[in-house]
Amino acid sequence: MQKSLHIDPVKCTGCLQCELACSYEHTGSFNPSRSYIKVFTFHHEGRFAPYTCTQCDEAWCQRACPVDAISVDFTTGAKVVADAKCVGCKVCTIACPFGTINYSQATGKVVKCDLCGGDPACAKACPTDAITYIDADWTGYDRMQASAAKSLPSAEANA
């Protein structure tokens, strides 16, 4: 079964535990500036949005890479950057429509979410379940369920 990170921004409090967990997993220190998941704060709207790679099946970054540094981890479906191959050309960062693969000055390579090999640290650290790791076939169904609930005649039936 393939799993996906599922993000529900409404539940996010902006605490950055996901960034702490991600950076510790990948760099060994607590360093939000090197996290592969980012929480954006929209102050005027009072909203927070965690955002990271959705692991496209047909990945723009992978197709754009001139040196085949991005490959698929077949156990998780994650698109993974091989540091030994990456030349830091940043073409993938231009190709990605979501901006979720990024250049790191610290390493001279691009960095992106690798799903931590199938046990994402961000999801484990999130205190409000704004980030969960779920069956990939279920992405979006919570919203479908919420829409379905609205279509019911009685408010009491809201799930």
Partner 1 sequence: MSWTRKILRVNLTEGSCNAEDLNMDWADQYLGQRGLATKYLVEEVDPKVDPLSPDNKMIMATGPLTGTMASTAGRYSVVTKGPLTGAIACSNSGGFLGNEFKNAGWDMIIFEGKSPEPVYLWIHNQHAELRSAADLWGKTAWEVDDMLHAIHQDPQVRVATIGRPAEQGCYYAAVINDKHRAAGRSGVGTVMASKNLKAVAVRGTLGVGNIDNMNQFLQAVNDGKQVLADNAVTGQGLPAYGTQVLMNVINGIGGLPAHNMKNAGFDGAENISGEAMHEPRKSDGKPNLTTNAGCFGCTIACGRISTVDPEHFSIQGKGEQYQGASGGLEYEAAWALGADTGVDDLDALTYVNFLCNEDGIDPITYGATVAAAMEMYEDGVLTKEHTGGIDLRFGNAEAFVAATEALCSGEGIGPDLALGSKRLCEKYGRPELSMSVKGQEFPAYDPRGIQGIGLNYATSNRGACHLRGYTIASEVLGIPVKTEQTDTDGKPELVKAFQDATALVDSSGLCLFTTFAWGMDNIAPQIDAACSGDWSVEKCLEVGERIWNMERDFNNAAGFTADDDKLPKRLLEQAIVGGPTDGQVNRLGDMLPKYYEIRGWNAQGELTDETRQRLAL
Smallest gap, in angstroms, from Cβ of residue 134 to partner 1?
20
Smallest gap, in angstroms, from Cβ of residue 51 to partner 1?
13
**Contact between residue 7 and residue 131 where contact means Cβ atoms under 8 Å apart:** yes
Q: Please identify, using beta-carbon distances, which residue of 42 and 141 lies nearer to partner 1.
A: 42
Smallest gap, in angstroms, from Cβ of residue 20 to partner 1?
4
**Distance from C-alpha of 92 to C-alpha of 96, rounded to nearest angstrom:** 6
**Distance from C-alpha of 99 to C-alpha of 157, rounded to nearest angstrom:** 39
Q: Please identify, using beta-carbon distances, which residue of 47 and 63 lies nearer to partner 1.
A: 47
Residues that bind partner 1 (CB under 8 A): 13-17, 20-21, 23-24, 27-34, 43-48, 106, 125, 127-128
Count other C-beta atoms under 10 Å from residue 53's C-beta: 22
The Cα-based distances of 42 to 12, 47, 111, 159 in angstroms read 12, 5, 24, 28
Q: Please identify, using beta-carbon distances, which residue of 101 and 125 lies nearer to partner 1.
A: 125
Smallest gap, in angstroms, from Cβ of residue 86 to partner 1?
20
Q: Please identify, using beta-carbon distances, which residue of 27 and 71 lies nearer to partner 1.
A: 27
Quote the tokens at residue 143: 């919203």
Terminal CA-CA length for the chain = 27
